[in-house]
Structure 1
Amino acid sequence: MLSTPLDRHCADESRLRPEIHNLQMTLVEWRRHLHQHPELGFKEVQTAEFVSKKLQEWGVEHQTGIAKTGIVATIRGSKPGPVLAIRADMDALPIQEENEVSYRSRHDGIMHACGHDGHTAIALGTVYYLSRHRDDFAGTVKFIFQPAEEGPGGAQPMIEAGVLENPRPDAIVGLHLWNNLPLGTVGVRSGPLMAAVELFRCTIFGKGGHGAMPHQTVDAIVVGSQVVQALQTIVARNVDPIESAVVTVGEFHAGSANNVIAGKAQLSGTVRYFNPKMEDLIRHRFAEIIAGVCHSHGARYDLDYWQLYPSVVNDRAIADLVRSVAEHVVETPAGIVPKCQTMGGEDMSFFLQEVPGCYFFLGSANESKDLAYPHHHPRFDFDETALGMGVEMFVRCVEKFCS
């Protein structure tokens, strides 16, 4: 296999303080170790052990086994002050890696294809730095190493386990390495950043029969096809055109032979939107449309519709803090990208419903190194120069918020 060399000549590294710049090689080592040993949600046993071992070595107070594999670490500054939480997710995806690199996944069918290995390494680097610079900030920093962001979601179970108590954070920040932005940029904005994620399953029950005798049947494929088309009118005709929303039917299963009219069709998909006020509207119209189409054809249906994650909504004051910090880490103004919304979802949203905070994107793509594949792609990888930049961002957030 080919080994990807470390690039130590990126201009953005000059904006890192010397101690974090010198930590870059170690950050890469940690990230590559985690990349080689990916684990799925709530199964991050080795990952949690790796994190806990580092925390023990540095004498950092922490708790393990929260929501199965989650960890919370606490660092107190030199004097009393506010509490800032920093969140990093640890889980990987059920994807077979196709990268031919020395640090490729050693676990068949599992891969860090979204950058969570980098998130964990950045959080560890921030812990390491702050544990040696307690005199540089007041108050407390809580590090939340979270399992299962990719599903079924580890944020809510950690909250239910009391991760936001004793002490309760005054604010929370988190980042996502983002291959939709180039290295040397930070995507930050107040208000909605990522979409709510809702899922649905619908089974349509018609009446099967012979393909040559349609008058004796209720064709579930015809009914299902009309449902798919009609659902698109929710965005086209019910959602304010100033708002953004998506209705996607991702699966349609029906039929068993070319001369048999299907008596059952199964549909499933996802709904995305930014504005929390749209939740009731879309859910209500979903049920109305499916009921109306099925009734018009004499079919029955069974609908399951549920929310996986609410939308990620950033607090204005904390987003302004992150933006001001970014001005010291990336070239401005081009390096700060406010138009960075995505219909992707994130369970960081649950933390942001409880505590004011900001989730932001740290650009990590580098076309010149062929490091620009999209997230969840089997060849996803990122420019590791972003690791040191992430630590610098978090450290500066702490220093400014806990001053």
Structure 2
Amino acid sequence: MLKERLFSLLESKWPDMLKHRRWLHQHPELSFQEKETSAYIARQYEGKDVKLEMNMGGYGIKVTIDSGKAGKTLALRADFDALPIFEETGLSFASLEEGVMHACGHDAHTAYLLVLADCLLELKSDLIGRVVLIHQPAEEMPPGGAIHMIADGVLDGVDNVIGCHVMSQMPYGKVFYHEGPTQQARAKFVIKVQGSGGHGAAPHEANDAILIASQLVVNLQSIVSRRLNPFDPGVVTIGSFDAKGQFNVIKDSVELEGDVRCMSDATRDLIEKEVARICRGMAETYHCIIDLDYKNDYPVLINDGKITKLIVRAVEKANIKEVEDVEDCGPLSPSEDFAYYSRELPCSFFYIGAQPFDSAYPHHHPKFDIVEESMMVAAKAMGAAVLEYFGLLEV
């Protein structure tokens, strides 16, 4: 059967998967700076029977495997940027770039997709339609790489997109999914409070920006507690309060930076309006100037029900020996710029358990690592989904 041939090919190329992951892990590059990573990926397709499109949305790459037979077009997406983190894993293949680390698993995503692409190419005569491989930069930093690749036409001719993410705190041996709104939208805002400075002994002659900004922090928290429906999740976080001064000087100005997370467009709009309303009201109340710079970035990631069910069915039918269960993980709090694809087409994004057997650190931690065998699970799960999508997965 085609599935057995695909899985056998994947297993035979396990050394290649490890080689790719470890090279990428040693040579991480930050979002929008992934020149060498992009070149490395492109080299893996040199001389192969694919259509290779470079520099999409920056350093993005679109690879098309065309079977030559009529059929739909399914895209598989993997990201490849790293984070500004000093690695503390002690791995033999730890980052060689000081202060830059693959601390989210994007090296693993790229490694499994490169090998899966090779295997699909070897089986091309048995496929139908087209498989597009989206190698995407800059997932970690807004506005993200997806939106730029979309603008450059990466979805032209594509019917659906699927992707997956290795998860360091989900048990190895399990595949996770969720239908509908699955990962949160987010926004960032900067608020500058301009009061008037003065001497600590004469507060009546000044307008204390620290006092005003402190009231702002408290009032902004009332958005979630008193403006949102209790059944609509939302978070407003003030992550920076820049008010360094001197003990006997009344501060002239203060700058706040905040983060917003939510699970619906309606909640997103409401929070933005409430932040602006509170800023206007506080400026009027305290006779000061409050400037607000509010930027929405990644939207809610919404998994299409039909495509998600197809993935679950494929993983279960394929009887992948490394997978013991397929579970609904429910909504997840982090944001993900795969959401932009889900705004354009019916898409689905699922999750591969990759929890190490000793110490499991969260994503974006200096000691983040995964069970490398989770890459094989990702490759087989995605491969099974490809076959099921084209009606080629035999029971």
TM range (shorter): over 0.9
Q: RMSD between aligned alpha carbons?
A: 1.8
Corresponding residue to 1:344 among 310, 330, 334: 334
Native 8 Å contact 1:40 1:92 kept in 2: yes
Q: Give the structure 2 partner of residue 322 of structure 1.
A: 311
Native 8 Å contact 2:69 2:129 kept in 1: yes
Corresponding residue to 1:149 among 139, 146, 151: 139
Q: Give the structure 2 partner of residue 381 of structure 1.
A: 369
CA deviation vs aligned residue, 1:196-246 (integer Å, no higher than 9, x gap)? 010000000111111121111211111111111111111111111111110
Partners in 2 of 1:253 and 1:360 — Cα distance?
Answer: 38
Structure 1 position 160 matched with structure 2 position 148 = no
Q: Give the structure 2 partner of residue 276 of structure 1.
A: 265
- What amino acid is the match of 2:210? I
How far off its partner does 1:318 sit? 0.6
Structure 1 position 31 matched with structure 2 position 21 = yes
**Equivalences for 1:108-127 in 2 at 5 Å?**
108-127=98-117
How far off its partner does 1:329 sit? 5.2
Structure 1 position 139 matched with structure 2 position 129 = yes
Partners in 1 of 2:286 and 2:269 — Cα distance?
Answer: 26
How far off its partner does 1:279 sit? 2.1
How far off its partner does 1:352 sit? 0.9
Corresponding residue to 1:64 among 54, 76, 98: 54
SS of equivalent residue, structure 2 residue 237: strand
**Equivalences for 1:4-403 in 2 at 5 Å?**
17-77=7-67, 79-152=69-142, 153-165=144-156, 168-327=157-316, 328=318, 335-368=325-358, 370=359, 372-403=360-391
- What amino acid is the match of 2:221? Q
CA 1:337–1:213: 2 relative to 1, 3 Å: farther
CA 1:287–1:300: 2 relative to 1, 3 Å: same
SS of equivalent residue, structure 2 residue 94: coil
CA deviation vs aligned residue, 1:336-392 (integer Å, no higher than 9, x gap)? 231342221111111111111101111111233x3x111111111100001111111
- What amino acid is the match of 1:173? I
Native 8 Å contact 1:70 1:147 kept in 2: yes
Native 8 Å contact 1:184 1:330 kept in 2: no
CA 1:257–1:335: 2 relative to 1, 3 Å: same
SS of equivalent residue, structure 2 residue 85: coil
Any stretches of 5+ residues in structure 1 without a counterpart?
Answer: 1-13
CA 1:274–1:330: 2 relative to 1, 3 Å: farther
Aligned structure 1 segments of 4 or more residues deviating by more than 4 angstroms: 329-334
Partners in 2 of 1:45 and 1:211 — Cα distance?
Answer: 53
SS of equivalent residue, structure 1 residue 51: helix
Partners in 2 of 1:389 and 1:334 — Cα distance?
Answer: 11
Partners in 2 of 1:256 and 1:329 — Cα distance?
Answer: 63
> Normalising to structure 2: TM-score of the pair?
0.93
Native 8 Å contact 2:188 2:258 kept in 1: yes
How far off its partner does 1:129 sit? 0.9
State the aligned residue count.
385
How far off its partner does 1:48 sit? 1.3
Native 8 Å contact 2:51 2:64 kept in 1: yes
